[in-house]
Chain A
Amino acid sequence: MNIRRLLLDVDKALARPSLLDIGKAISGCKGVEALNISLADVDVETMGLEITIEGNDLDYDQIAKAIEGSGAVVHGIEQIVAGDRIIERTELAR
């Protein structure tokens, strides 16, 4: 499966690692062309991040290992886009 986009729910402690450290760790993974790290929520000692990664033939295991190696924690996958091209989410009309 050719994964082209991943949206991950990631948590980290407030003090460290820095967003730059996480970004550098992800950038070093195979197939990563671009990434976006956005602050989702801040707790007393932790902060939640939404990380969007786009590229070609992304290796989720390698990316999750890189994020956890930097000292953050992957809580889950929020979105996967795969295939020959990227398709955006289509809202159900009910």
Chain B
Amino acid sequence: MKFDDWIQDPRSRLDIVAGLVDGILNALTLASAKLVAQGGLTLATIGKVAAVTACTTSFVFFVAHYAQLRSELVRAARELNLLAHGHLATTQLGKQILQESLWGALVASVCGVIGSTIPLGLSLAAPSLPIVGLALTVALLGLLGWFLASSVFGSPALWAGGLMLGGVVVTAIGIQLDILS
């Protein structure tokens, strides 16, 4: 598949945008206390958050994709009147959905790492203005919510607003918990 086709495929867009959102939310949850404490953020912290994001995002997206595609095969087997419902998973389709799930998890994981690095990188670049970094991150969440809405044919304003609100809430939780202290 060509890059243009791949990026326009709604499933790819969902992996990319949801991965970025997941990364940003992970960073805000884990490190927002470090963000607001001036000078509390280091490159090592950014690396740790990125590593955690890569692990959780890849695992969650792989399981979600694989479970969804396996259930599609089971439904197809029922429609085709196959006696063994797991039959299609033993064919080439089984390998195909495994590859698709792994690829989706990899894309989401890479995007998650990028997403987690954005807010932390912004704050590291301007350590004296942590609020600006946080505000830009929440605004970015709103933008991603807008794109996510177009992928799932939802209301852009609702999705953008919901993600921005979620960003503010997880930031408050992250500051309260101060996980990385």
A residues at B contact (CB < 8 Å): 11-13, 15-17, 21, 25, 43-46, 68-71, 73
Q: Chain B: interface secondary structure?
A: helix
Considering the complex, give the chain A residue whose CB is closest to the CB of B76.
A13
Q: Give how many B residues have a beta carbon under 8 Å from the other chain's beta carbons.
A: 12
Given the known inter-chain contacts A69-B92, A70-B91, A71-B88, please indicate yes or no for A13 contacting B82, CB distance below 8 A. no
Given the known inter-chain contacts A15-B72, A16-B96, please indicate yes or no for A46 contacting B91, CB distance below 8 A. no
Question: A25 CA to B75 CA in the complex, in Å?
Answer: 23
Considering the complex, give the chain B residue whose CB is closest to the CB of A67.
B91
Q: Please, which residues of chain A bring their CB within 8 A of the CB of B91? A: 68-71
Sampled A-B contacts (10; CB under 8 Å): A13-B79, A13-B80, A15-B76, A16-B96, A17-B93, A46-B79, A46-B80, A68-B91, A70-B92, A70-B93
Q: Please, which residues of chain B bring their CB within 8 A of the CB of A73? A: 80, 82
A71 and B93 form a contact (CB under 8 A) = yes
Question: A85 CA to B93 CA in the complex, in Å?
Answer: 37
Question: A16 CA to B76 CA in the complex, in Å?
Answer: 9
A11 and B92 form a contact (CB under 8 A) = no
Question: A8 CA to B166 CA in the complex, in Å?
Answer: 55
B80 and A11 form a contact (CB under 8 A) = yes
Q: Please, which residues of chain A bring their CB within 8 A of the CB of B96? A: 16-17, 71
Give, as a whole number of angstroms, the nearest-CB distance from B85 to chain A: 13
Q: Please, which residues of chain A bring their CB within 8 A of the CB of B82? A: 73
Question: A71 CA to B73 CA in the complex, in Å?
Answer: 9
